[in-house]
């Protein structure tokens, strides 16, 4: 996604795991919704899709070859993404819905989240535990 290389917490796995949760939450919101922000109606993303986007950007977790397996760090990345989604949810920027027919969840951006993303004020809209 254009601009993802400008997000410091996505520069490496160490940067991602060591970044403040607020920064990761802002990156997750941007990855999930920035590209489709101009579209009308509800915007949704799945947790799996967000995990895949993050892993595709982190040099240590990029998959190579036609057939590849999830990197060993995939569970850690998934946990951190889920923690970031929880922060976004607690700040009323997204709504998380758990799937009943399969494992996982989906998120929908709220009006507040859409406004913060459109206005470039996502970091200011997030209060995260220290």
Structural domain count, the chain? 1
Q: Report the chain (130 residues): mean pLDDT per 10 consecutive residues.
A: 74 94 96 93 94 89 62 86 96 95 92 96 87
What is the C-alpha to C-alpha distance for residues 63 and 37, in angstroms, rounded to an integer? Answer: 28
Which tokens belong to 121?
């004020």
Indicate the pTM of the whole model.
Answer: 0.88
Q: Which of 80, 96, 91, 95 is nearest to 121 (CA)?
A: 91
* C-alpha–C-alpha distance, residues 7 and 16, integer Å: 10
The whole domain housing 112 covers 4-63+70-124
Domain assignment present for 78: yes
pLDDT of residue 129: 76
Task: Tell me, yes or no, whether 129 lies in a domain.
Answer: no
Looking up residue 48, the CATH number of its domain turns out to be 1.10.10
Residue 89: inside a domain: yes
Confidence at residue 21, expressed as pLDDT on a 0 to 100 scale: 95
d(Cα 75, Cα 62) in Å, to the nearest integer? 14
């Amino acid at each position: 996604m254009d601009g993802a290389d400008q997000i410091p917490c996505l520069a490496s796995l160490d940067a991602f795991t060591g970044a403040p949760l607020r920064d990761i939450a802002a990156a997750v919101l941007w990855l999930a919704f920035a590209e489709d922000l101009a579209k009308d109606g509800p915007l949704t993303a799945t947790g799996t899709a967000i995990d895949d986007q993050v892993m595709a950007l982190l040099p240590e977790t990029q998959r190579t070859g036609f057939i590849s397996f999830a990197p060993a760090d995939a569970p850690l990345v998934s946990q951190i993404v889920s923690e970031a989604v929880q922060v976004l949810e607690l700040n009323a920027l997204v709504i998380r819905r758990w799937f009943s027919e399969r494992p996982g969840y989906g998120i929908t951006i709220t009006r507040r989240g859409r406004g913060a993303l459109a206005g470039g004020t996502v970091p200011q809209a997030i209060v995260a535990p220290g």
